[in-house]
Chain A
Amino acid sequence: DTGVSQDPRHKITKRGQNVTFRCDPISEHNRLYWYRQTLGQGPEFLTYFQNEAQLEKSRLLSDRFSAERPKGSFSTLEIQRTEQGDSAMYLCASNPAGGYNEQFFGPGTRLTVL
């Protein structure tokens, strides 16, 4: 299967710890998106990459959040000094550049901050 994959699927951490999530998009998809979804709500956009360039960041992405896509393939999302409010599902999506293209979502990483 060559869909979007995310790792880990679940992460439990204590408040104040740093966590890092990985997203592997569909091969050759230039664009990669990160979203956050809290319980009972729709996903909220966090940031977007085209190849290795981070082109858009939501104001939801505080200074404790950083995302990278160093070689234009996989991406990582790091949260420093986690807070209980960071508990959520973190979703990654990808699509090719050029024209309208649907976004393909991964299964998400569920973060629980104790």
Chain B
Amino acid sequence: DAKTTQPNSMESNEEEPVHLPCNHSTISGTDYIHWYRQLPSQGPEYVIHGLTSNVNNRMASLAIAEDRKSSTLILHRATLRDAAVYYCILNIYNNAGNMLTFGGGTRLMVKP
């Protein structure tokens, strides 16, 4: 399976934008890039996913490099509730189930 590399931790100030990087140099053409986050004492929750083009939703934006070897999750205005572990995951999209392979993730700390 293609692997992802993320910083162990990052810090941000409240109400400022946050850019969470992810490297995936061995990504294949059929791998989708997914982001999930896990708040303290909760199960992971879906944030966003994309293939080639940048994506936006109500939670975040996903910027994908042209060569797809890296991507960045963007939180436009961090809040204290965004403090969580953020996981970047590569996964093939098919109808046979999409088991997720989590790495260590990035622990985001948000300072008031």
Binding site for B on A (CB under 8 A): 4, 31, 33, 35, 41-45, 48, 50, 55-56, 91, 93, 95, 97-108
- Nearest CB of chain A from residue B58's CB, rounded to whole Å: 13
- Report how far A56 CA is from B96 CA in the complex, Å: 9
B64 to nearest A CB, angstroms?
16
Other CB < 8 Å A-B pairs besides A33-B100, A106-B43, 20 of them? A4-B43, A33-B99, A35-B102, A42-B103, A42-B105, A45-B99, A48-B97, A48-B99, A55-B97, A56-B99, A93-B43, A102-B46, A103-B98, A104-B45, A104-B46, A105-B42, A105-B45, A107-B41, A107-B42, A108-B42
Residues of A within 8 A of B93 (CB): 100
Q: Which of B95, B98, B105 has the most CB of A within 10 A?
A: B98
Whether B101 is near chain A, meaning CB under 8 Å from some CB there, is: yes
Size category of the B interface is 20 to 34
Q: Which of B81-100 contact A (CB under 8 A)?
A: 85, 87, 93, 95-100
Chain A residues with CB under 8 Å of B103's CB are 42
